[in-house]
Amino acid sequence: MSASHAVPRRAVLADVLPGAYVRDAVLVLGGALLTALFAQISIDVPPSPVPITGQTLAVGLVGATLGMRRGASSLALYVLLGLLLPFYADGDSGWHVIWGASGGYLIGFVFAAAFVGWMAEHGADRSPLLAFVTFVVGQLIIFVPGLVVLKISVDESWGWTIHNGFSIFIVGGLVKALIGAVALPSAWGLVRRFER
């Protein structure tokens, strides 16, 4: 890669690609579509009304790859497209999902992608340990509005809500964080190899 195309110091993986506005629009749409695809990886865990999905992995990958603004925009687009198209878990769509048990998690995706993107802009995606911690914190951000909306929608105790809306997802969340911790530094390793 020539010096004129060198990656800026505070870049994320998306900044390696040439172009600006068209690139950003395509990447934001691509991140939304990737999240929709990962949402279809869905496992019901009764009695929880919230399934285990691949969405949270997609949120971290999209945020880290696109950066704070593009990552948050991509997840906001995902939420909006899911109102009209079968993009949510199990091919669901519509306002009833936003107002239902999973709605808070969907809103949390936008904030989590922004956080992970901001961390990636500051180099956290280049270190396996920092990437892992970033993914874990990003997932915790998702749970804040997720648990509040779940509690309101099911009208159960906080103990029930925390168990069925958080505790049962801990192991899967750690696995997803581990995937991010391996994938992102590896991707940066490839970028550095091509820069030579």
Average pLDDT, the chain: 91
The structure tokens listed for 139 are 């997932």
Residues 104-123 have a mean pLDDT of 97
Around Cβ 164, how many Cβ atoms within 10 Å? Answer: 21
* Residue 189, number of CB atoms within 10 A of its CB: 10
- State pLDDT tens for residues 43-102: 999 999 999 999 999 999 999 999 999 999 999 999 999 999 999 999 999 999 999 999
Residue 20, pLDDT score: 77
Going from the N-terminus, what domains does the chain have, and what CATH number goes with each? 3-195 (1.10.1760.20)
Predicted pLDDT at 4: 44
Per residue in 169-195, pLDDT (tens digit) is 999 999 999 999 999 999 888 888 877
User: What pLDDT is stored for residue 65 in this prediction?
Assistant: 95
With a cut of 90, say whether residue 37 has pLDDT above it.
Answer: yes
**Termini Cα distance of the chain:** 6
Q: What is the dihedral of CA 7, 13, 19, 20, to 10 degrees?
A: -100
Report field, pTM of the whole predicted structure over 0.85: yes
pLDDT value of residue 171:
95
